[in-house]
Each structure stands twice: as structure tokens, then as C-alpha cells.
């Protein structure tokens, strides 16, 4: 009996060191199968107390904000310099004139509105007029107390505009109805319904980036042109108050 016990206790599975080695072997097999992911998870937990804190996060975000502000200021300076070189108009938001619509002819061929501000208020012929949503038109005549505005829906209106998504200039022409026509002088222009239209950075009549409208439908290409029907963002038939933008022509 003594000999049998001695033999059984000598087997490997009864030895503590053997179990440790077997456990290490299984661990290595698991690591192999998991392709080292367990190491990454282990490192995740032991390194967590040393992660960058909230203070470091705030410093980084502040640096990003400062970088963005510097880039924006540089872009503004470049834009102003280029507009001066090209003698393009700029608007001064501090000097804009608020005016009430005292008369409107939005259903006739010569679409226009009359405002209660005139030359005594600093309104000049050619000044852009905007309402809630975007551009309405330009001042075409002034008296001492009033000014007349030719709407961009009038056949007299022809303005350079910009389609931002495809980065292309076009011409916006009034047709005497509520939907002016956009003309692109490229039949291959990839214009789509829903594209946003604003005043052109290259326009000599308007400051840049004034919202105008959205492409509602696209006409069939004709020769080297492509046309689109524009739904205006600002509705002159329902607007009672407007802003007259004071602009300067750089010389």
C-alpha cells in the first residue's frame, strides 16, 4: 500500500510546479489565438491613471481655437486685399440701414419695393437690400426720404452669383415672376436640385456670400449653357422690414 501511494503522488499532475507550467502554456496559447489583444487591454488599464487630464484637454482645445482664429484672420486679410486689387465692393455691417417697406409692386412686370429711408439716411443708388433669408434686390433710385429697390425677380435685374458646391460662377436673371433664372456658361456644370446660390465673390455689384436661393429645377442644356430655376430664400411679397447694406467700392 505504501508503494502505491508513493507512485501516485509522484505523477506530474500532483506536482504544483507542473500546474504552474501548464497554466503558463495555456496563457501563451490564448495570447497567440487573441493576437496580442490581451496585452493591449492590460496596457489600457495600467496606463489609465496616466492619461492626459482635463487641463491638458483644455489647453489643446484652446490651441486649436487660437489656430482657427489666426487662419480666419489671415483669410479675411487675403480676401480684403484681393477685393481691393479687383476693385470689388465690401459691406460695412456697422453702418447698415434698417428700413420699412411702404409700398410694393411684386405682382407687376417691373417688380420693385419702396422703402422709408432715402439719401438723408445715407442710402445710395446701387446699395444691396436684404431681408430675412437673403438678397432682395438693389436700390435703383433715391429721394430725400425714400428709396426704390429693383427686386432680383425683375427682368431689369442681372447679377453675378456663385454655386458653392460646384465652385462655379453664374448669372442670375429676373424673369418677372417669383423664380429668377440661373445661367451657367458650361453645359457640363454638375448643378443639382438643392444647390445653394449666393452672391459671387467676383461680383462688382454686390459684396460676396449674400444668400440668395436654392436650385429648384434644372433646364435642358442649350448649346454651351445650362439653366436652373431658383427658389428665393427671401420673399419680397411678405417682408415688411429690410436692411440696406452700405457698401464701398475700392479704388
Per-residue pLDDT of the chain (251 residues; tens, 9 = 90+): 445 455 455 554 555 666 677 777 776 766 666 555 655 566 566 666 656 555 555 655 666 776 677 667 767 666 666 656 555 555 555 578 999 999 888 666 668 999 999 999 999 999 999 988 889 999 999 999 999 999 999 999 999 999 989 989 999 999 999 999 999 988 788 999 999 999 988 888 888 889 999 999 998 877 788 999 999 999 888 888 899 998 764 44
Cα–Cα distance list, 74 to 34, 44, 67, 70 (Å): 51, 41, 11, 6
Residue 129 to residue 154: CA distance in whole angstroms: 14
First to last CA, the chain: 117
Give me the pLDDT at residue 20, please.
73
Residue 217 to residue 229: CA distance in whole angstroms: 5
Residue 55 to residue 62: CA distance in whole angstroms: 11
Give me the pLDDT at residue 57, please.
58
Give me the pLDDT at residue 65, please.
73
Q: Who's near 231: CB < 8 A, 6+ residues apart?
A: 179, 213, 214, 215, 216
**In terms of C-beta density within 10 A (0-12 exposed, 13-18 middle, 19 or more buried), how is residue 96 classed?**
middle
Residue 177 to residue 229: CA distance in whole angstroms: 11
Quick one: how many helices (H) and strands (E) in the chain? 4, 14
Range list of H helices, the chain:
2-9, 16-33, 37-47, 54-85
Give me the pLDDT at residue 251, please.
40
Amino acid at each position: 500500500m505504501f508503494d502505491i501511494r508513493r507512485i501516485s503522488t509522484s505523477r506530474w499532475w500532483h506536482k504544483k510546479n507542473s500546474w504552474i507550467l501548464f497554466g503558463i502554456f495555456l496563457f501563451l496559447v490564448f495570447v497567440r489565438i487573441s493576437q496580442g489583444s490581451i496585452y493591449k487591454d492590460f496596457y489600457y488599464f495600467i496606463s489609465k491613471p496616466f492619461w492626459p487630464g482635463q487641463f491638458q484637454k483644455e489647453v489643446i482645445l484652446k490651441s486649436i481655437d487660437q489656430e482657427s482664429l489666426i487662419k480666419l484672420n489671415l483669410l479675411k486679410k487675403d480676401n480684403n486685399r484681393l477685393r481691393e486689387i479687383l476693385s470689388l465692393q465690401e459691406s460695412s455691417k456697422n453702418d447698415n440701414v434698417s428700413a420699412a417697406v411702404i409700398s410694393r409692386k411684386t405682382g407687376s412686370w417691373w417688380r420693385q419695393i419702396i422703402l422709408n429711408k432715402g439719401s438723408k439716411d445715407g442710402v445710395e443708388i446701387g446699395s444691396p437690400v436684404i431681408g430675412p433669408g437673403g438678397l432682395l434686390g438693389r436700390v435703383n433710385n433715391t429721394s430725400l426720404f425714400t428709396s426704390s429697390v429693383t427686386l432680383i425677380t425683375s427682368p431689369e435685374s442681372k447679377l453675378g452669383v456663385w454655386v458653392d458646391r460646384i465652385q462655379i460662377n453664374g448669372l442670375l436673371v429676373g424673369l418677372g415672376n417669383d423664380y429668377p433664372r440661373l445661367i451657367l456658361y458650361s453645359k457640363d456644370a454638375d448643378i443639382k436640385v438643392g444647390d445653394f446660390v449666393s452672391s459671387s465673390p467676383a461680383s462688382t455689384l454686390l459684396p460676396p456670400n449674400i444668400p440668395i436661393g436654392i436650385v429648384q429645377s434644372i433646364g435642358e442644356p442649350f448649346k454651351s449653357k445650362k439653366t436652373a430655376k431658383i427658389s428665393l430664400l427671401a420673399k419680397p411679397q411678405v417682408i415688411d422690414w429690410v436692411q440696406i447694406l452700405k457698401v464701398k467700392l475700392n479704388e
